Homo-oligomer: A and B are copies of this chain.
Amino acid sequence: MKVVRSIKEMQEISNDLKKVGKSIGFVPTMGFLHEGHLSLVRRAKEENDIVVVSIFVNPLQFGPKEDFNSYPRDEERDLNLLRDLADFVFIPEAKEMYPEGYSTYVEVENLTTNLCGRFRPGHFKGVTTVVLKLFNIVKPTRAYFGKKDYQQFRVIERMALDLNLEIEVVPCEIVREKNGLAMSSRNVYLTKDEFEETSIIYKALSYGKELIEEENIRDPKVVIDKIKEIIQSAKSLKKIDYIQIVEPITLQDVDKIESPVVILFAGYFGNARLIDNVEVNL
């Protein structure tokens, strides 16, 4: 496993790999890796000749009041976790990614106005911009994204299609803690008591899924109210940003549940903003 810190060096490595016909599987991360990330890396290893993991806490995707400074970082631990899985770990510096005079931004409209887009203005603009840059540097054949960040996955899938990137955007299943909480680097913000209470999120979303798939409830409002009632029973819940039921491709709220949908939650337990979702098959 080789650690690469320069953009130019990473591009040369990728260009050389492409020239000899190697497929590149890419897992972009913000580091502080957990089993969710590692499942993406393992999948990338299975499906490609070479695996590149990037670690970059992207300042562009954090709002001014968000947790960029406190976001957990542990490069040494990350590198140890990747040792037998990745061929290259790309760790660029912010000042090389966004040098003085940097001015170019990519936005996926429509898909970014709903859900987290309503609560984190500029977030997805920061995500698409950095991911496009990383794609241009790493030149992957396939790029792997966890479905915990469902909206992010759909936005990047759309960007890759719209910009003719010839990169396969591969969604991967959510990896959960034993209590059901979706794994996230931000889970370290939770106290032990808060962590225990977060099990309610996945339970509530799963109950919503059951209401639709098995009880044939078709009114999203009925399902959402039930989920909200369950989650609100948690004492350490500070705030719900949203509970929404949307169409999987356009991410627009549905009036009536008649085809596959996704139920998504975002909210705060203690100081941790948590997101989760379940896909509903019909």
Q: Name A's B-contacting residues (CB within 8 A).
A: 7, 11, 18-19, 21, 101-111, 128, 132-133, 136-137, 158-159, 162-166, 249-250
Q: In the bound complex, do residue A159 and residue B104 qualify as a contact, i.e. CB atoms below 8 Å apart?
A: yes
Q: Inside 8 A of A136's CB, which chain B residues have their CB?
A: 163-166
Given the interface pairs A107-B105, A108-B104, A109-B103, the reply to whether A132 lies near B163 with Cβ below 8 Å is yes
Q: Are B164 and A11 in contact (CB under 8 A)?
A: yes
Residue of A104, A108, A133 with most partner-chain B CB within 10 A: A104
B104 in contact with A163 (CB, 8 Å): yes
Looking across the interface, which residue of chain B has its beta carbon closest to that of A110?
A: B103
B residues near A163, Cβ cutoff 8 Å: 104, 106, 132-133, 136
Chain B min CB distance to A20 (Å): 10
CB-CB under 8 A from A165, the residues of chain B are 136
B106 adjacent to A106 (CB under 8 Å):
yes
Cα(A132)–Cα(B11), bound, Å: 18
Shortest beta-carbon distance from A266 to chain B in Å:
22
Contact B103 A111 (CB under 8 A): yes
Ordered by A's residue number, 29 sampled pairs between the chains whose C-beta atoms are within 8 Å are: A11-B164, A19-B19, A19-B21, A101-B110, A101-B158, A101-B249, A101-B250, A102-B162, A103-B108, A103-B110, A103-B162, A104-B106, A104-B107, A104-B108, A104-B109, A104-B128, A104-B158, A104-B162, A104-B163, A105-B109, A106-B106, A106-B107, A107-B107, A132-B163, A133-B162, A133-B163, A133-B164, A136-B163, A136-B165
* Closest beta carbon of chain B to A168's beta carbon, Å: 14
Contacts of A166 in B (CB 8 A): 11, 136
Q: Which residues of B contact A159 (CB under 8 A)?
A: 104
Residues in B whose Cβ lies below 8 Å from that of A19? 19, 21
Residues of B within 8 A of A108 (CB): 103-104
